[in-house]
Amino acid sequence: MRETDLAAPVVAFLSGQGYTVKAEVGACDLLAVRDGEPPVVVELKRRFSLDLLLQGVERLAITEAVYLAFPAESAGEAWKRRRRAALKTCRRLGLGVLVLRARPDGSYTVLPELDPAPYRPRVDTRKRGRLLKEFANRVGDPNTGGSNGVKIVTAYRQDALRIAAALADGEARRVAELRPRALATPAAALLQRNVYGWFERAARGRYRLTPAGEAALVTYAEQVRSLTASPESAAAS
């Protein structure tokens, strides 16, 4: 498939809406004009890509009506998996999207997935609140930015490590004794959910460390030292 194969169905689609369309006008793949309205620019590519996004953003210097056109079939499973994210990105950039779908006879149907419009960002206050809560509750800065394939030390994990450290002597302790160790998550909820498998109930309201918890204290020994030496932990104890 060539990009030139994509032009005809898009031209037919725009012409059907009363546009006069011409190809390769300046740097634009297609330029469409109708009744003195702002021009419409369409950039054609065989697949959705970063190059296509960058081309579209550059054409926004000409008009606010910029569409990216590509066949969904060429993107395969990647388009199906990431369709919502791709459309969200285009919406944020103010770009429209025309998806071409193949017919049995080899021709294409043009489906408008998104019309270009100025993007007015709306802050997700709940998501921001969760981020700020995590930031405030996390002690120090235990992670390295850009890390991949490593377990992130969250405020929740820090709480679990503090409780594990309090149980390191092998004794079972009451939740009330362990409660001050948890700064971000209620101790009872943390022990009952037992996300990491570090704790087990020894009796009603009493918990002790599992072998997995003992191993975690070794794995995170440096973290445990810093947490138990921190002002928050000192206050907790």
Q: What is the DSSP letter of 180?
A: G
CA dist 161 and 223 (Å) reads 8
Q: What is the DSSP letter of 205?
A: T
Find, among 41, 34, 35, 53, the residue nearest to 10 by Cα: 41
- Residues contacting residue 177 through CB under 8 Å, at least 6 positions apart: 166
What is the residue whose two structure tokens read 């405030």?
Answer: 136
CA dist 75 and 113 (Å) reads 15
For residues 21-27, average pLDDT? 90
Checking 26-35 for CB contacts under 8 A at 24+ apart, the result is 27/58, 27/59, 28/59, 28/62, 29/3
CA dist 209 and 123 (Å) reads 42
Greater confidence, 72 or 182?
182
For 110-151, write each residue's pLDDT tens digit.
Answer: 999 999 988 776 778 898 898 888 989 988 888 888 777 778
Domains delineated in the chain? 3-114 (3.40.1350.60), 125-236 (1.10.10)
Find, among 191, 183, 168, 173, the residue nearest to 234 by Cα: 183
- Residue 77: what pLDDT? 61
Element of type H or E holding 209: strand 206-209
| In the predicted structure, residue 237 carries a pLDDT above the cut 50 | no
Torsion sign across C-alpha atoms 184, 190, 196, 201: positive
| In the predicted structure, residue 74 carries a pLDDT above the cut 70 | no
For 147-199, write each residue's pLDDT tens digit.
Answer: 777 788 999 999 999 999 999 999 999 999 999 999 889 999 999 999 999 99
For 75-121, write each residue's pLDDT tens digit.
Answer: 556 666 778 888 999 999 999 999 988 888 777 889 999 999 887 76
For 211-235, write each residue's pLDDT tens digit.
Answer: 999 999 999 999 999 888 754 443 4
Amino acid 217 reads L
- Residue 68: what pLDDT? 95
SS in 3 state form for 65-106?
EEEEEEEHHHHHHHHHHHHHHHHHHHHHHCCEEEEEEECCCC
Q: Which two tokens stand for residue 115?
A: 């019309």
User: Strand, coil or helix: what is 162?
Assistant: helix
